[in-house]
Structure 1
């Protein structure tokens, strides 16, 4: 039994790639400002969850007097979450 072409992930990927190629040919290459905006957005997507998680961990550590027991792992979790979010965002572009 064969799958319908529109449900095949490889077929959809090829269609998306072709659509991006057509759009790039029609619009031309993006400017320096567009690249800088993309880099800035990606940076904030990674840094913000890390900082928020670090502040949450610091608050928990101050409340319970546990040193950096929660700060370090929550900061790593936040950065990991930010990297994953940035990865997903880049693949949607």
Structure 2
């Protein structure tokens, strides 16, 4: 049976994954490993993506607590909100 060239070719997920793996291997052979400094920079940026919104939420919650004299009512929820925002930002 001959294959009609106008028919769309069906791609299989396993074949696509093998192609991706092969292209990553070829890229690694061409370019080599990422330098240590660049890896540390990525880790640092990733950490700050979590830290800044979390601390901002904590400081804003603390300010609201002092302003309205509510104890720690706002600190924990706003810190968790900042942590969630940082996690979402890191995911994106």
**Distance change >3 Å, CA 44–CA 16, structure 1 → 2:** farther
Alignment length (residue pairs): 81
Distance 2:73 2:20 in 1: 45
- For 2:5, the equivalent position in structure 1 comes to none
Matched, 1:76 2:85: no
Give the 4+ runs in structure 1 shifted more than 3 A: 13-25
Alignment of 1:1-93 (within 5 A): 20-86=24-90, 88-89=91-92
Deviations, residues 12-55 of structure 1 (Å, cap 9, x unaligned): x9687776555433221101111111110100000000001111
Which blocks of at least 5 consecutive residues in structure 1 are unaligned? none
**Distance change >3 Å, CA 17–CA 44, structure 1 → 2:** farther
Structure with bigger gyration radius: 2
Which blocks of at least 5 consecutive residues in structure 2 are unaligned? 1-7
**Alpha-carbon RMSD:** 2.6
